[in-house]
Amino acid sequence: MGTITAKIAALVVALSLTSCIVSSGEDASITIVNDSDYVLVDLRVSPVGSASWGPNLLRGDVLFPDEEITIVVDCDYYDVLIEDDFGATCVLADLDLCFSDDLWVVTNATLAFCGF
């Protein structure tokens, strides 16, 4: 019985590492669409007012132009950080993700506004 429980626990951990879920509550989501000419290498979310960013949700992968990723989060207000392969960053601040889904289309104009 212990071996089966250990295998199930290992499977749950493996599945959680391959998804883009920030929480288990699944109250809301944000889809980031890379409609720019840049490769995005870092994607982090943090509750508004937090002193630090969460982990890179791309997990060593990248978001090429015309690709998208959906992140599921608990009901809260969030800041979203993206970084391109040249190290330039852009923040979408104070996003209300509470029982709703949001879409952020990252364009060249968006990145120019952020100083890319």
**pLDDT confidence of 65, banded at 50, 70, 90?**
very high
Query: E-strand spans in the chain?
Result: 28-35, 40-47, 68-73, 76-84, 89-97, 101-107
Beta bridge partners of 30: 71, 102
| pLDDT for the residue 25 | 53
Burial of residue 89 (number of CB atoms within 10 Å: 0-12, 13-18, 19+): middle
| pLDDT for the residue 106 | 87
In tens, the pLDDT along 11-38 reads: 233 323 333 444 445 578 889 899 999 9
> Is residue 75 a contact partner of residue 25, using CB atoms and an 8 Å limit?
yes
22-114 fold: Immunoglobulin-like (2.60.40)
The structure tokens listed for 99 are 């029982």
The one-letter code for the residue type at 50 is: S
In tens, the pLDDT along 71-114 reads: 888 888 889 898 988 888 888 888 888 877 888 898 888 888 87
